[in-house]
Amino acid sequence: MVQPILLAKNIKKTYQSGAHVAQPVLNDLSLTVENGEFLAIMGPSGSGKSTLLNILSTLMQPTSGSVTINGQDILAMNDKDMAKFRGQDMGFIFQNYNLIESLTVAENIALPLNLQKKAPKLTQERVQVVSELLNIKELRHKYPAELSGGQQQRVGAARALVHEPGLIFGDEPTGALDSENAREMMQYLTKINQEKLISILMVTHDPFSASFASRILFLNDGEIAGELVRGAQSRESFYQQILQQLGNFEE
């Protein structure tokens, strides 16, 4: 039996508020991300989806529970091992691009490999491959300020992909994009998922973006309140199903 790339069990998160313990943000939540899966997480503001993403992506510790990625217990790692694991096994795509303005596109993309002190020839080859995949080859000598929002997000995706991680986390990756660029970005993420067989876990509030995923988990009050699986249906049909599900939650 093939092990899921991510396995989270009984995740709880509460924030201390003065002398009082606040209501749990996450309440005994468990989920898996299968190898090669494209999973989207949706939920209203305050549902816990950002906290969940931060815990699963190693940026925050849960109050209790366990998280295993690629067979590794990430909560048992020290800071040094965690930094190394994060740099090798995981990629991140942020809503606001998080590019370094003083670096060129190629230098931004190469950053994960340079931090790992990879050979310059290998780094150059990897940057070229992901630049071609995301159609930004001609932009490699430009700086972020010279790019459109959609182009910057593709650079962010290339940086997340260049070190060939097993799992990419997306934090509202289309949140700062217009509808045309959002569609293009989601098509590229689908391409990464299907051609490179890289698992993607994406938090989004946008049903259109979520319709590109193979499965969606709906969070509400820190718990999984529903699930949709795309199966063989078209993206357009899945989109309508998502809208109906969101409508049910609002009733």
The 10s digit of each residue's pLDDT in 111-160 is: 999 989 999 999 999 999 999 999 999 999 999 999 999 999 999 999 99
pTM of the model: 0.93
pLDDT in tens, the chain (251 residues): 678 999 999 999 998 766 666 778 999 999 999 999 999 999 988 899 999 999 999 989 999 999 999 999 998 999 889 988 988 899 999 888 899 999 999 999 999 999 899 999 999 999 999 999 999 999 999 999 999 999 999 999 999 999 999 999 999 999 989 999 999 999 999 999 999 999 999 999 999 999 999 999 999 989 999 999 999 999 999 999 999 998 877 65
Helices (H) and strands (E) in the chain, counts: 8, 12
List CB contacts of 234: < 8 A, sequence separation 6 or more: none
Q: Which residues contact 77 (CB under 8 A, 6 or more apart)?
A: 85
Structurally, what CATH architecture does the domain formed by 35-62+77-250 represent? 3-Layer(aba) Sandwich (3.40)
pLDDT of residue 214: 97
pLDDT value for 19: 65
Of 121, 178, 129, 113, residue with least CA distance to 152: 178
